[in-house]
Amino acid sequence: MNETRQISEFNESIFQIQRLHYHWVSIAKYRENGQLLRAKWKLDSIEIELKYDAKLLDDKEDTKYTKKLKELEERFNTALKNRNLKEIYDLVREKESILREIQQESGKGTKYKALGEDDMD
């Protein structure tokens, strides 16, 4: 049986980047206002968006992002159970940092160019 691999003619990545941006803006607002549970829920939404990318990076580069996120969730559960606001705040910041790293490493973050390159893409 001869199978042909099909690819999508529609690239959804720009919409994912827009959704991620919306979530990052919300997270900053919630974190700054002390709404840590809302910030955590938004981070969970970003994790869902980037979960496949995290797995690809883990498989390709042995980054262990999936394991880090799972361990972080366990620490969140403990902090929430103990109502430890300082720990919850620190975990929100840590998860945000990890997810931003995944976004960047997966090519969905900031685009860099060498100094002196023209602006023509």
Q: Is residue 110 a part of any domain in this protein?
A: no
Domain tally, the chain: 1
Q: Is residue 73 a part of any domain in this protein?
A: yes
What is the pLDDT confidence band of residue 88, given thresholds at 50, 70 and 90?
very high
Is 11 or 41 the better-scoring residue by pLDDT? 41
- Average pLDDT of the chain to the nearest whole number: 89
Q: Is residue 4 a part of any domain in this protein?
A: no
Q: List the structure tokens of 64.
A: 């262990």
Residue 65 and residue 95 in contact, taking contact as beta carbons nearer than 8 Å: no
Q: How many residues does the chain have?
A: 121
Q: Is residue 53 a part of any domain in this protein?
A: yes
Range of the domain at 57: 20-105
Given this model, what pLDDT does residue 87 score?
A: 97
Q: Is residue 112 a part of any domain in this protein?
A: no
pTM as predicted: 0.82
Given this model, what pLDDT does residue 112 score?
A: 73
Q: Is residue 32 a part of any domain in this protein?
A: yes
CB-based contacts of 12, cutoff 8 Å, min separation 6:
none
Given this model, what pLDDT does residue 121 score?
A: 52
User: What are the distances in angstroms from CA 17 to CA 7, 51, 88?
Assistant: 20, 14, 26
Residue 46 and residue 23 in contact, taking contact as beta carbons nearer than 8 Å: yes
Rg (CA), the chain: 17
